[in-house]
Structure 1
């Protein structure tokens, strides 16, 4: 999966959850030899991003958002939002990602937190997406997918730290957090991050 060492560490904004994360002051593209390759997604799952942390904190503090419901964590990365949903009492939680290594990492992290993720979920009642609006190429595809889930009746919650491609006009702000982040990854020690509900 990854050559860099990982360690099980508590999530800064949601220390109730621990994740296997890169255990070195590395940036995302340091793990890919300094280059982006279109045939292999970068290892987003090796870090806990601000949007996922904000979603996790919100769900842990407001379990009614997901309790007893079927939840899909789209573009799961490390799985932090999926794990929080499971800890908050969701009936069933699935994590999906275009990168199979991310799904494997989410499952490994779920096991470390004594929760289980479902193999798949065709009819979610809640869809989570943390930090998915990071590029002009990815943003429209994520919006289309999230709007399809919303039209099908699912509640959609997005965690976004102002990445620049977030279509704010389609969402209502639920809450904001100041999220601790690694300075070597984000060039700052914290990011103001919103949890948004799709209209």
Structure 2
């Protein structure tokens, strides 16, 4: 992969240069711009885009929680049918795309990484759907959604605690929240209702095993 000049920090050019179009193993119906290896794109982000102050390129991978959520939605479209849906911390936009394809009334993605926002737009176009993206930090805001979907958000304690507290507030307001989680360390120990499980093929570059048992949880108010 070729490093972009610092002045050319164009998200679309970077994404096209550093990824290939491929389908996640659990969701072959959906194509995404994905990295084939973790190290080159991580290094490209650090060397080419460090001056942008961007987080690591999480958007370039289809994480187990997102794959499991997308698979669940595609297998049971009634989960999203007719609903206003938010894909929170959307990354590649995989879950939002699945919701759009499954018949959600409207779908939006929330991401604070502008390169992720561009990846979501590119990935949505690949799959013939439109997914508006907000770059605002929506945590703590009042929800206009009927359903919030969150995959792999419990891997760091501060984020997990902050996000879970907000999501429980939404649940108390009558909004459904589904979380996809492959056993991350900071998943809440209680206040969860199991919906289903999936075995998600994974890469040893990203995970500590070649398959993750990934649960879909309905978050409860307490």
**With structure 2 as the length reference, what TM-score do the two structures score?**
0.81
- Are the aligned partners of 2:83 and 2:147 in contact in 1 as well (CA < 8 Å)? yes
**1:29–1:7 Cα change, 3 Å:** closer
Asked if 2 retains the 8 angstrom alpha-carbon contact of 1:28 and 1:43, the reply is yes
Question: 1:108 aligned to 2:129?
Answer: no
1:67-100 deviation line (CA, Å, top 9, x unaligned)? 1110000000001110110011001000001212
- Say if 2:68 is the partner of 1:54: yes
- The RMSD of aligned alpha carbons is 2.1
The question of 1:133 aligning with 2:146 is answered: no
Instruction: Choose from 109, 125, 149 the match for 2:170.
Output: 149
Mark the structure with the bigger radius of gyration: 2
Give the number of aligned pairs. 196
The structure-2 alpha-carbon separation of the partners of 1:40 and 1:155, relative to structure 1 and needing over 3 Å to count, comes to same
Instruction: State yes or no: 1:86 paired with 2:107.
Output: no
Per the alignment, residue 109 of structure 2 pairs with 95
Structure 2 residue corresponding to 1:159, chosen from 176, 180, 183: 180
1:27–1:191 distance in 2 versus 1, CA, 3 Å:
farther
Judged with a 3 Å threshold, the aligned counterparts in structure 2 of structure 1 residues 128 and 70 are, in CA distance, closer, same or farther, namely same
Structure 2: gaps of 5 or more residues: 1-10
1:40-66 deviation line (CA, Å, top 9, x unaligned):
311110101000000000000011000
CA change 1:190–1:167 in 2 (3 A) is same
Counterpart CA distance in 2 for 1:137 and 1:30 is 25
Shift of 1:28: 7.5
Q: Output the CA distance in 2 between the equivalents of 1:191 and 1:12.
A: 12
